[in-house]
Chain A
């Protein structure tokens, strides 16, 4: 199976104190992902994907008290490689499906803001399950993920380090199969361990966090061996900032992500 996906991607990192934004980083770009999935033996499959970004724009805004002017940068380049392995279990009924998946994401390149290259080495494992009832498929995914240590050279030359942290959560969704079309929505909820980011200019420490998100998708089977899908995905992560005193000063750290994606799949 071969899949090509193009997405318009937006990500916002916001750090607030006393309800005033201390810094706001907005990344927008076009993401292009090419993925191949192969059957190995029996119920086993393996896949690989390559992701690159083009037309990237980074906007940085700081609190007036910091006296740093607003900044705009452009970026493009190779982002990351992902490899994965799936094992599908035999079930008594074709209506029920169970599978485990192991996934690794990384890049041989050094992390740089100038080309959006990813320096972390992520590993995840997940349990996929689904049940088909007439033309409705209920599905879910229990996942656990380690985000490896990330070192990114910023536009100003500083090196930002995000320490390794983990996420554990569940996605549940419904798929409505209607002729050659299918419609789908899902919801995600995850808990995370501590997310720490630091650079010569700042240190942000958090001791836990949570992620919520969801997806809307409409798909169409064009031929026996090809499909096209359009989806919109949104997620937000809130982290509990470590402070010595009670949070009277309203400190918040959020990462919000959303993208709209068009994907085409060929089965060969």
Chain B
């Protein structure tokens, strides 16, 4: 886990380095708030709304039929754990590792191989992942639902692993087609199932997370297709991290 945290920090740093360079000159004159707000409402204002409608209906169905609130420190019986002890792999890689690795690679590739398509893919991932993370954390700290197997933790709804991994998978499908997208969705499904397997989430937490991640990824994709690309990414500052935006011309 420690190694993973340092890797994530390093990748954040690499992204910040690129983002600062890309956006420093034209930062002042543009209406960034308008662009951000367009992205924030993109799950409703673009065809991604069908993901929101289907996902919200699914989440409601899962929530309404949940009879027992079994807050207790326990683990599922082995026969009820389809992934056995391998759920821990999903736990580790589901902390946004795939999103950051993808965007770092395509930023590097775009920058040093003069590949605009790669830059666009990186931008898509950064924007979709940032909004997904922001909304997921906001809901987690607002709803404060206890986890099924770990009642001391109040961040069950929605599943952050599911939202991040399905944002990743949807971006891959949008940018590289359904061949790679299928593999990415298989990885995202493994991560989401591992959270249910290991009693960190209820089923409605997972379907809500999938809905958030996929709807932002496709919503931002439709906005990107319209043009008006800009950067939004984390940058390291002295006592933590900052958020930087920039617009390309």
User: Is the C-beta of B196 less than 8 angstroms from some C-beta in chain A?
Assistant: yes
Interface flags for B41-77 (1: CB within 8 Å of A; 0: not) read 0000000000000100110011011111010001011
Q: Across the interface, do B61 and A146 meet the contact criterion of CB distance under 8 Å?
A: yes
- Binding stretch for chain B, among A40-48, A68-76, A222-230, A245-253: A245-253
Q: How far is the CB of A138 from chain B (nearest CB, A)?
A: 8
Q: Across the interface, do A192 and B203 meet the contact criterion of CB distance under 8 Å?
A: yes
Q: Across the interface, do B61 and A210 meet the contact criterion of CB distance under 8 Å?
A: no
User: Is the C-beta of A131 less than 8 angstroms from some C-beta in chain B?
Assistant: yes
Which residues of B sit under 8 angstroms from A15, Cβ to Cβ?
none
Q: Known contacts A191-B193, A192-B203, A193-B203; decide if A208 and B65 are in contact (CB<8 Å).
A: no
User: Is the C-beta of A135 less than 8 angstroms from some C-beta in chain B?
Assistant: no
Q: How far is the CB of B160 from chain A (nearest CB, A)?
A: 18
User: Is the C-beta of B1 less than 8 angstroms from some C-beta in chain A?
Assistant: no
Q: Across the interface, do B80 and A208 meet the contact criterion of CB distance under 8 Å?
A: yes
Q: How far is the CA of A3 from the CA of B65 in the complex (A)?
A: 33
Chain B residues touching A, range: 20 to 34
Contact of A208 among B54, B58, B196, B207 (CB under 8 A): B196
Contact of A196 among B57, B67, B148 (CB under 8 A): B67
User: Is the C-beta of A194 less than 8 angstroms from some C-beta in chain B?
Assistant: yes
Q: How far is the CB of B70 from chain A (nearest CB, A)?
A: 5
Q: Across the interface, do A125 and B57 meet the contact criterion of CB distance under 8 Å?
A: yes
- Binding stretch for chain B, among A25-33, A158-166, A178-186, A256-264: A158-166
Q: How far is the CA of A239 from the CA of B80 in the complex (A)?
A: 6
Chain A residues touching B, range: 35 or more
Q: How far is the CA of A163 from the CA of B74 in the complex (A)?
A: 24
Q: How far is the CB of A204 from chain B (nearest CB, A)?
A: 12
Q: Known contacts A125-B57, A209-B80, A240-B77; decide if A166 and B65 are in contact (CB<8 Å).
A: yes
Q: How far is the CA of A200 from the CA of B99 in the complex (A)?
A: 52
Q: Across the interface, do B68 and A252 meet the contact criterion of CB distance under 8 Å?
A: no
Q: Known contacts A168-B62, A193-B62; decide if A208 and B76 are in contact (CB<8 Å).
A: yes
Contact of A238 among B58, B66, B80 (CB under 8 A): B80
Q: How far is the CA of A151 from the CA of B79 in the complex (A)?
A: 27
Q: Across the interface, do A196 and B68 meet the contact criterion of CB distance under 8 Å?
A: yes
Q: How far is the CA of A147 from the CA of B78 in the complex (A)?
A: 25
Q: Known contacts A125-B54, A168-B62, A207-B70; decide if A191 and B203 are in contact (CB<8 Å).
A: yes
Interface residues of A: mostly helix, strand, loop or mixed? strand
Q: Which of B74, B202, B206 has the most CB of A within 10 A?
A: B74
Which residues of A sit under 8 angstroms from B82, Cβ to Cβ?
189, 210, 212, 238
Q: How far is the CA of A252 from the CA of B79 in the complex (A)?
A: 7
Q: How far is the CA of A78 from the CA of B204 in the complex (A)?
A: 34
Q: How far is the CB of A165 from chain B (nearest CB, A)?
A: 5
Q: Across the interface, do A194 and B67 meet the contact criterion of CB distance under 8 Å?
A: yes
User: Is the C-beta of B223 less than 8 angstroms from some C-beta in chain A?
Assistant: no
Q: Known contacts A144-B58, A246-B74; decide if A166 and B67 are in contact (CB<8 Å).
A: no
Find the B residue at minimum CB distance from A96.
Answer: B178
User: Is the C-beta of A127 less than 8 angstroms from some C-beta in chain B?
Assistant: yes
User: Is the C-beta of A170 less than 8 angstroms from some C-beta in chain B?
Assistant: yes
Q: Across the interface, do B67 and A251 meet the contact criterion of CB distance under 8 Å?
A: no
Q: Across the interface, do B61 and A144 meet the contact criterion of CB distance under 8 Å?
A: yes
Which residues of A sit under 8 angstroms from B58, Cβ to Cβ?
125, 144, 168
Which residues of A sit under 8 angstroms from B70, Cβ to Cβ?
207, 242
Find the B residue at minimum CB distance from A240.
Answer: B80
User: Is the C-beta of B175 less than 8 angstroms from some C-beta in chain A?
Assistant: no
Q: Known contacts A193-B66, A240-B80; decide if A168 and B203 are in contact (CB<8 Å).
A: yes
Contact of A131 among B67, B178, B196, B206 (CB under 8 A): B178
Find the A residue at minimum CB distance from B76.
Answer: A240
User: Is the C-beta of A216 less than 8 angstroms from some C-beta in chain B?
Assistant: no
Contact of A193 among B65, B74, B78 (CB under 8 A): B65
Which residues of B sit under 8 angstroms from A191, Cβ to Cβ?
193, 196, 203, 206
Q: Which 3 A-B pairs have the closest CB atoms?
A: A240-B80, A247-B77, A144-B58
Q: Could you tell me which A residues sit within 8 Å of B by CB distance?
A: 100, 123, 125, 127, 131, 144-147, 163-166, 168, 170, 189, 191-194, 196, 205-210, 212, 238-242, 246-247, 251-252, 254
Give me 24 A-to-B residue pairs in the complex whose CB atoms sit less than 8 angstroms apart, sorted by A's number: A127-B54, A144-B62, A144-B207, A163-B65, A164-B64, A166-B61, A166-B66, A170-B189, A191-B196, A193-B62, A193-B65, A193-B203, A194-B65, A196-B67, A207-B68, A207-B70, A208-B203, A210-B80, A238-B80, A239-B80, A240-B77, A247-B77, A251-B77, A252-B79
